[in-house]
Amino acid sequence: MRSQQDSNRVTNSRTTNVVIYSLLISISSVMFVVERFIPYPVPGGKWGFSNFVILYTVVNIGLRGGLLVGTLKTIIGSLFSGILFTPPFFMGFFGIISAATFEWIFSKTKFFSYTTLSIIGMISNNFVQVLVGSFLIKSRAIFSFLPLMIGLGLISAIINAYLAKKMEEIIDENNFGLKISKKD
Amino acid sequence: MKTFKKIDVFLILAVILITVFFALKANNREDEIFLVKLDGKIYTELKKPGDYPVKDKEGKILTIVHYDGENVWVTDSTCPLKICEKTGKIKRGGKIICVPNKIVIESQTQELQTW
């Protein structure tokens, strides 16, 4: 016999997915635009707080959802901040794809916590960003920024893990009458 | 999934140690000269103090580099985000990187001339 809560749930239709993904993409692209105004010691760098949505999506929905939210977040956020198809856009774009992939691979083992996944994603994101940057300028000089980026990224990785856990709690508590589908 | 596990402490400590190790490895030396590289090739060497305009193949000025004998900084640039201007003054061992114009300003050890 189905419980009261189950009968109230909307069946997981196409509309449900559209609502869930648009919610996630809008949260992360707003963070993408807003975090540019938070001071950061390295010129041209960013804290990367918008990536907590990717962490939540990859863990709770799957790789396809994470890649979708990540790519659309970068495109929409860059459109609003005016850096679409410039070198920083490509660095962020490939960085977020690698971060989502690595976070998904390690989340499958059920051994890691949010903090570990966030740190793994941060390291792969920074490394791929620097790699793409070194291809763009045809010089390896940019690799000297990598230790500083990883050191500062550690702070934002821990904050992102906390935010992703908080988001999971909020969505699970009042799940909007929706059931987030788990599919890969 | 949990937010934090005991194993994370070791991971965070390992990342901090690696970062500190690589950060301390970079040292400043006096016998280095500043190089301006455009598109991966050496464009000019900064030996005397002054302004050095960096031009592309068509003669359009991309960046103006200023050298005062001690520090190097970019005074003007055509890139949209002006990251190279915001980097400020660098000493020997520092780097200015302009990704849109593919310009790298870094210091390098002078090659010994043995002939």
pLDDT in tens, A46-83: 898 999 999 999 998 889 999 999 999 999 999 998 88
The three-state secondary structure class of B13 is helix
User: Would you call B49 helix, strand, or coil by DSSP?
Assistant: coil
**CB-CB under 8 Å, B26 with A83:** no
Q: Return the pLDDT at A7.
A: 46
Q: Structure pTM? A: 0.86
ipTM of the complex: 0.81
Kindly state the percentage of chain A with pLDDT values over 90: 52
Whether A149 contacts chain B with CB within 8 A: no
Q: Which residues of B touch A133 (CB under 8 A)?
A: 97, 99
C-alpha B11: how far from chain center: 30
Q: Which of A151-165, B20-34, B41-55, B57-71 has the lowest mean pLDDT?
A: B20-34
Return the residue of A nearest to B18 by Cα: A147
Minimal Cα distance from A149: which residue of B? B19
Q: Nearest-CA neighbor of A160 among A91, A57, A79, A73?
A: A57
Beta-sheet pairing, B103-109 with B95-98: antiparallel
Give yes or no for A154 touching B (CB within 8 A): yes
Instruction: Check: CB of residue B74 under 8 Å from CB of residue B88.
Output: no
Select from B1, B86, B100 the Cβ nearest to the Cβ of A86. B100
Across the A:B interface, residue pairs with CB atoms under 8 Å apart total 105
Whole-number pLDDT of residue A143: 86
- DSSP states of A59-75: HHT-HHHHHHHHHHHHH
- Residues in chain A with CB shorter than 8 Å from the CB of B37 are 139, 141
The contacts of residue B41 (CB under 8 Å, 6+ apart) are none
| Record: contact A137-B97, CB cut-off 8 A | yes
Q: What pLDDT sits at residue A178? A: 57
A170 touches chain B (CB under 8 A): no
- Residue-wise pLDDT for A101-153, tens only, equals 999 999 988 888 999 999 999 999 999 999 999 998 888 888 888 888 898 99
